[in-house]
A = this chain, B = another copy of it.
Amino acid sequence: MILTAQETHQLKKAPHVPDVLPIFHERWSPRSFSDREVSNEALSKAFEAARWAASSYNEQPWRFLVGRRGTETYKKIFESLGEFNQKWARTAPVLILGVARDNFTHNNTPNRFALYDLGAAASYMTLEAASLGLHTHQMAGFDQDKARNLLGIPADYLIGSVIALGYQDEPSKLGDDRLIGQETAPRQRKPHSEFVYESWQTPLPLA
């Protein structure tokens, strides 16, 4: 028996710690996307959240190229995806490429926080999307040069991730045992002791 979409969502939310904002558990990265369209209003809210992320010198280095299914931008982003990601991402109604200006507007010096700040803005976007019942899946597996060339992204912008955005569909529709297995497996994360330190590699006592 393959878990349903709803059972899968509940399972992914399972490691919920009481009193942490539920939104952090609502967001996870499915691969089974339904072809249900995403409204302008929902997209607008997702980017409104991204807008308020913090950034070094308030540079807001992030730019998002948004492809809705059927548009040239969608086709170009999709074409740059690796074969594995093309297999499942083809049903997502929206594909987004995040990029970041790699120098500061105020003095043209390198911004070493360009990707860091893009990561923050993209994560705000994915959290807001999750609060609207949408799902997102960020991908590293695409041809950066191809994406840059097809979409005409200037050399002074760093390429971030491709983000599939849409509504979750039944895991069974992935039609591939490996994909279905990943889709319906519990989420895994390191314990606090492995990433919250008092000094290098010494866990911070938090109890």
Residues of B within 8 A of A107 (CB): none
Q: Is the CB of B65 within 8 A of A197?
A: yes
**Interface-located stretch among A2-10, A78-86, A169-177, A185-193:** A185-193
Bound CA–CA A45/B58 (angstroms) = 27
Residues of B within 8 A of A153 (CB): 200
28 contacts between A and B (CB under 8 A): A21-B23, A21-B128, A24-B124, A24-B128, A25-B52, A29-B54, A40-B205, A43-B204, A44-B192, A44-B206, A50-B195, A54-B126, A57-B140, A60-B195, A62-B195, A63-B195, A63-B197, A65-B198, A66-B198, A113-B140, A115-B115, A116-B116, A117-B119, A118-B119, A120-B122, A127-B127, A152-B200, A153-B200
The residues of A with any CB-CB pair to B shorter than 8 Å are 15, 17, 19-21, 23-25, 27, 29, 40, 43-45, 47-54, 56-58, 60, 62-66, 71-73, 112-113, 115-120, 122-124, 126-128, 131, 138, 140, 151-154, 160-161, 187-190, 192, 195-200, 204-207
